[in-house]
Structure 1
């Protein structure tokens, strides 16, 4: 099973073309895609879409879109990665959600056996540096349409993207500006780190070297929403 989360507003979906392409790659038939388009086109207002894909079959659930902050608290006490199928979002959702339910923060760092950060518990991370960003290409980093989209937006600003094939340095990461790439809420800035029960402000860049803020990126994402 694979699960996709997204926002649908008046029939428009951010990254609609990317989702359609991914579904075709997964063997979803044109007739099923057309039925999905019809369902989404009939949505009035703004809803959260949850799409489950099993063996080429798709099931769409539409849920209320709960408010959520674009600046979040990250637990610095790393969580050992216990996912069984990190190549897909869906099979390990139960474990991921149970982790988030028991921590006193919005997200946490997910680390491998070598204590390298693979991602946040739910979604990938971006480390933001002056004039460039770094992304994890660790084998256990789950593919993300939201990440692909944000990197394309940053490329439009002329921002260089550096790959971290072994993941991020867990100890050094809190010294950088960090975003979590959520497919529903977009780029979410880590503005607070929680370590051993103590909160401390996260670093935000003053000399951004041309890198837009997370809020600017999210505005561009909204403008790219397309009717399905």
Structure 2
């Protein structure tokens, strides 16, 4: 089987824990080929985001066209989008793809608490959710986007990530237009090194979909991958450090 071609549209994390860097790591370790359209450059580390420089919309589109026109795309992952104008332009371009699964991680706030999307950009998420095969908000993001009803409103699936919930068990719920599809429950992994969990999960799911997996199967494998990455976190930095790279995961998945 040819390698799955995964186009990642997201921002860059200079500290290597989240964003494009985490996306490429996940796609590669799961056997896919990662291509990128970088939407923003950030000065960022485990303590927070010190600066954000959005990439102009026409350059984001140019990166996308370079990948789509030559290499082709089996799945798309969208993360930090940079601006409302870029969100609208990306949505228009992706609408022309035929049958390509799209995983949208509606990034609003970094693990450190730093804002990564303004109100206009969040409002523009509506267009991207309308195209997505799966939207992967955490609980605060889900509330900001309108709650569980976004699955029915956009005729899509939503993975409501439970990391911000309380209790010893972490619960992730897959919602479809008609309500709950399935859920996963696991004990929480006690670590401060959670930077990049959302990026990694969404890219891992997109890789599975690009490889031909059904949605629940792709989510299940991606969750196991993230848990393995949390366990092997190297403990870098003075804040929310990056996860590790479970190098042998693909051989045992």
TM over 0.5: no
Structure 1 length as normaliser, TM-score? 0.29
Structure that is richer in helix per residue: 2
Per residue, is there more strand in 1 or in 2? Answer: 1
Higher relative CO (Cα under 8 Å, sequence separation at least 6) belongs to 1
